Structure 1
Amino acid sequence: MNYNRADKKLIKKINTVSILKIIRERGPISRADISKMIGLNPATVSSNVSGLLKRKLIKEVGSGESSGGRKPILLELNSSEIYVIGVDMGIKKVSAGLIDIDGSIIQKVTLQYPEKAKQENVLETIKESIYEVVKKEDDDFNKIIGIGMGIHGIVDIEKGLLSYAPAFDCHDVDIVSIFKNEFKTPVIIDNDVRVMALGEKWFGKAKEAQNFVLLNIGTGIGAGIYLNGKLYRGNNFGAGEIGHVSISDKKIKCKCGEYGCFEAIASGTGIVTRFIEELKQGSSSSILNRIDVFHITSEEIYKEALRGDKLSIQILKETGNYIGAGISMLINILNPEMILIAGGVSKAGKFIFEGVQRAVSKKSINNNLKFLYIGETDLKENAGIVGAATLIIKDIFSV
């Protein structure tokens, strides 16, 4: 009998999720049309719809066209009543967003970590960002059904742990328990770049893609990988660490301890390192007329390139070649249909993308370039918070 009860409960959940998916994809839609589309009898559909209405996941939105009797009442997602918090934990800052179940951003807050932030500083700043984003909307937590978090580092999604974050020297931090206890709501976590890929799959450019890679190039470099329509995490949740593949014989040390890593060479940090090395070797740049060498950032280099500074342009064009070399590895190994580039470095596309295309063409197997799209994400700088929120949204639509 226990098995029978479990089976009935599972069947009801499967039916409810199926109905919810149809409403999301086809709404506004009537109960009768739902019944026809998924082959459930009208009474089962009405019972499940009643439960979804009580949970405020859907709402009634007027009447449809009559086919002879009473006009049918139409249903759609109740995006104005159900919110999710999405958290994007970066290396230098955290962004938190209040997101509806259509993936739209209601409010967003970005906070910088303190100088030389340790684990406790980072966690407190993340908590502050969540409280701040809800306060800005002048709302409480009653409408929030969960917190999704994109976490820098290696994340054990089954245990809810941040296994290792090299930027903060964090090991085995129970992120889910910490934030679930603080905010009294469900919490789901995953690696920061993987949630960006998830967001693009649900709400961005990759909706129809089955095999794609999202390459995030900012302070660090990482990849979120979709294979055969599913997010690939690897055997120990370590998939996508493309930043620690060697692409150069330059003696630039990576934070992993090795030299010539993709991240050490082509990330925002790598751009600054190579720029300063050129200055030390006697190259000149107009950037020194504005700021001293200690305040040079990749963003400032980009701004100077827009002003025509030759060294800034040179460094960014070289960066395009390095990024192309890294992308060609992904192309040759995975043969994806799409590679999406996200992160701050992608903003310098005017100087970078020509080099990317040139290196990709030179270093990739020609067959794997057929029908391949390479370009920016749709969600751009919001990919992190929307993707993190999608962890919770996806859970609603899953059995």
Structure 2
Amino acid sequence: MDFQTADKAFIREINKSTILKVIREKGPISRADIAKLTGLNPATVTNNVNILLEADIITETGIGDSSGGRKPILLELNKNAFYAIGVDMGLKRARAALINLCGEIIKSIDMPYGNSIDEKDVIKRIIELVNALLDVRNIDKNKILGIGIGVHGIVNPVEGISIYAPKFGWKDVAIKDIFEKEFRMPVLIDNDVRVMALGEKWFGNAKSAKDFVFINVGSGIGSAIVINGDIYRGSLYGAGEIGHISIAENGPKCNCGNFGCLEVMASGTALEKRVIHDINLGKESIIPKLAGDDLSKITGEIIYEAAKLNDKLALDALYDVGSCLGYAVSNLINILNPEIIIIGGGVARAGDFVLKPLCDTAHKKSMEHLSQRVRILPSYLNENCGIIGAATLILNDLFEGSQK
């Protein structure tokens, strides 16, 4: 399969003037305001805007207010000028989506891996997902800029290699090369939580923040650190492994070999194990009934539903998860002093049952001056954070010229 992708060099050449970036971030905006924001002279702005209009990358969208003289024509990004494909390579299933330049999902598909997490089987499933998206009607395939993929574990985004995916048992898988050979279009990969942070930076709750942390609380727990607008990956691409901060010296053993890690105390898997353990001890709860009297079918969603029905076991379990997360968040506040901390993932979608004890503990355990100024927010992109963030790898490369 071979698609002629958009001429990124052409767009980047235009983008050197920063005009396209300003229109994306500030539009609808007038030519005069672009000149003020960029410091470019009006003639340069007009010439570049005309090129962008002719290429159909931007569009004239209406008339603005006048401060005297003719009313200005407003410009904004043509959101459907180009598209990107995002793939969230989850632990049990993969999701993929086709998104436009404004982060809107045109079509999304998900597919479970089944019983195999073998490298070839998982990649085969994801190739099937991408092919299904490429068959979307009324979409010009030449407008698809590339494929972005979020992969759990340690990832080298420069070479496009999954260095170590612990839940899959993968080591040194050349994901970028595999998908570029298959689809003959640009492919970018990064750690799954970092792409979520990138999605929130572009389209979510971190648009105005230069320093923030994104924490994903699902089957595992990971984080992404953004400093001065750039994602911090660490010297060996392992920055952000918050799930392996030890918060309980005598806690359960983690798969990393240590005891009492945040991941074994507060992840979705830990929550389910804790609830099943309590039920087996004879604690009363409506959770077994909600699970059809099959404890193996207890999920975070069922525990959340029980909490909404005021089930004490569910309420206590979610409260403890929030408190554990709060201890870890307090460390982040003290060490990094971020403007915002964003909580995403399945457990985080339990709302105030988790977020309230998390915030209370984080503020109590961190330095008062720092905790008063940090905002702790749920993910704006919610369950679509992974796929939108992965596609944003491609958009970021287009507009910024590098993975930031």
TM-score after normalising by structure 1: 0.88
The code of the aligned residue for 2:395 comes to I
3-state SS, counterpart of residue 110 of structure 2: strand
Q: Is the 8 A contact 2:251 2:265 kept in 1?
A: no
Separation of aligned partners in 2, 1:116 and 1:245: 30
- CA RMSD of the aligned region, Å? 2.7
* Aligned equivalent of 2:339: 337
Quote how far apart the aligned CAs of 1:69 are: 10
* Aligned equivalent of 1:5: none
* Aligned equivalent of 1:266: 266
Quote how far apart the aligned CAs of 1:47 are: 5.1
* Aligned equivalent of 1:4: none
Q: Is the 8 A contact 1:247 1:326 kept in 2?
A: yes
Separation of aligned partners in 2, 1:309 and 1:50: 62
Q: Deviations over 1:92-143 (max 9, x none)?
A: 1211111111122222212211124221222122222222234345535222
Q: Is the 8 A contact 1:151 1:190 kept in 2?
A: yes
* Aligned equivalent of 2:6: none
Separation of aligned partners in 2, 1:253 and 1:280: 20
Any residues of structure 2 matched to 1:97-176 within 5 Å, and which? 97-137=97-137, 139=139, 141-176=141-176
Quote how far apart the aligned CAs of 1:263 are: 0.7
Unaligned runs of 5+ in 2: 1-8
The code of the aligned residue for 1:334 comes to L
Separation of aligned partners in 1, 2:15 and 2:121: 44
Give the stretch that moved more between structures: 97-106 or 166-175: 97-106
* Aligned equivalent of 2:353: 351
Q: Is the 8 A contact 1:212 1:227 kept in 2?
A: yes
Separation of aligned partners in 1, 2:87 and 2:392: 11
3-state SS, counterpart of residue 271 of structure 1: helix
* Aligned equivalent of 2:240: 240
* Aligned equivalent of 1:180: 180
Percent sequence identity over matched residues? 49
3-state SS, counterpart of residue 284 of structure 1: coil
Quote how far apart the aligned CAs of 1:14 are: 7.0
Separation of aligned partners in 1, 2:375 and 2:14: 35
Q: Deviations over 1:145-198 (max 9, x none)?
A: 111121111110111111110110111111111111222211111111111111
Separation of aligned partners in 2, 1:221 and 1:370: 25
Separation of aligned partners in 2, 1:28 and 1:280: 59
Separation of aligned partners in 1, 2:141 and 2:364: 53
Separation of aligned partners in 2, 1:17 and 1:243: 41
Question: Relative to 1, partners in 2 of residues 1:286 and 1:47: Cα closer, same or farther, differing over 3 Å?
Answer: same
- Large movers: runs of 4+ above 6 Å: 62-73
3-state SS, counterpart of residue 299 of structure 1: helix
3-state SS, counterpart of residue 388 of structure 2: helix
Separation of aligned partners in 2, 1:318 and 1:58: 49
Give the stretch that moved more between structures: 309-318 or 281-290: 281-290
Q: Is the 8 A contact 1:107 1:137 kept in 2?
A: no
Quote how far apart the aligned CAs of 1:216 are: 0.6
Q: Is the 8 A contact 1:331 1:368 kept in 2?
A: yes
The code of the aligned residue for 1:343 comes to G
Separation of aligned partners in 2, 1:142 and 1:57: 14
Determine which of 307, 310, 319 is the counterpart of 2:309: 307
- Does residue 255 (structure 1) correspond to residue 255 (structure 2)? The answer is yes
Separation of aligned partners in 2, 1:71 and 1:299: 53
Q: Is the 8 A contact 1:264 1:270 kept in 2?
A: yes
Determine which of 374, 377, 391 is the counterpart of 2:393: 391
3-state SS, counterpart of residue 205 of structure 1: coil
Q: Deviations over 1:252-271 (max 9, x none)?
A: 22222322110111000011
The code of the aligned residue for 1:305 comes to A
Determine which of 378, 381, 387 is the counterpart of 1:379: 381
Q: Is the 8 A contact 1:17 1:398 kept in 2?
A: no
Separation of aligned partners in 2, 1:124 and 1:175: 12
- Does residue 210 (structure 1) correspond to residue 225 (structure 2)? The answer is no
Any residues of structure 2 matched to 1:51-66 within 5 Å, and which? 51-53=51-53, 55-61=55-61
Give the stretch that moved more between structures: 278-287 or 46-55: 46-55
Question: Relative to 1, partners in 2 of residues 1:34 and 1:227: Cα closer, same or farther, differing over 3 Å?
Answer: closer
Separation of aligned partners in 2, 1:33 and 1:367: 38
3-state SS, counterpart of residue 107 of structure 1: strand
Quote how far apart the aligned CAs of 1:60 are: 4.6
Unaligned runs of 5+ in 1: 1-8
Quote how far apart the aligned CAs of 1:325 are: 1.3
Question: Relative to 1, partners in 2 of residues 1:138 and 1:220: Cα closer, same or farther, differing over 3 Å?
Answer: farther
Quote how far apart the aligned CAs of 1:282 are: 3.2
The code of the aligned residue for 2:179 comes to F
Separation of aligned partners in 2, 1:328 and 1:174: 37
Separation of aligned partners in 2, 1:29 and 1:227: 28
Any residues of structure 2 matched to 1:1-80 within 5 Å, and which? 13=13, 16-29=16-29, 34-35=34-35, 37-41=37-41, 44-45=44-45, 48-49=48-49, 51-53=51-53, 55-61=55-61, 75-80=75-80
3-state SS, counterpart of residue 397 of structure 1: helix
The code of the aligned residue for 2:362 comes to V
Quote how far apart the aligned CAs of 1:361 are: 3.1
Q: Is the 8 A contact 1:134 1:140 kept in 2?
A: no
Quote how far apart the aligned CAs of 1:13 are: 2.9
User: How many correspondences in the alignment?
Assistant: 390
Separation of aligned partners in 2, 1:282 and 1:302: 20
Q: Is the 8 A contact 2:217 2:346 kept in 1?
A: yes
Q: Is the 8 A contact 1:31 1:46 kept in 2?
A: yes
3-state SS, counterpart of residue 306 of structure 2: helix
TM-score after normalising by structure 2: 0.87
Separation of aligned partners in 2, 1:364 and 1:64: 46
Separation of aligned partners in 2, 1:219 and 1:323: 14
Quote how far apart the aligned CAs of 1:52 are: 3.6
Separation of aligned partners in 1, 2:223 and 2:145: 28
The code of the aligned residue for 1:357 comes to C
Give the stretch that moved more between structures: 126-135 or 369-378: 126-135
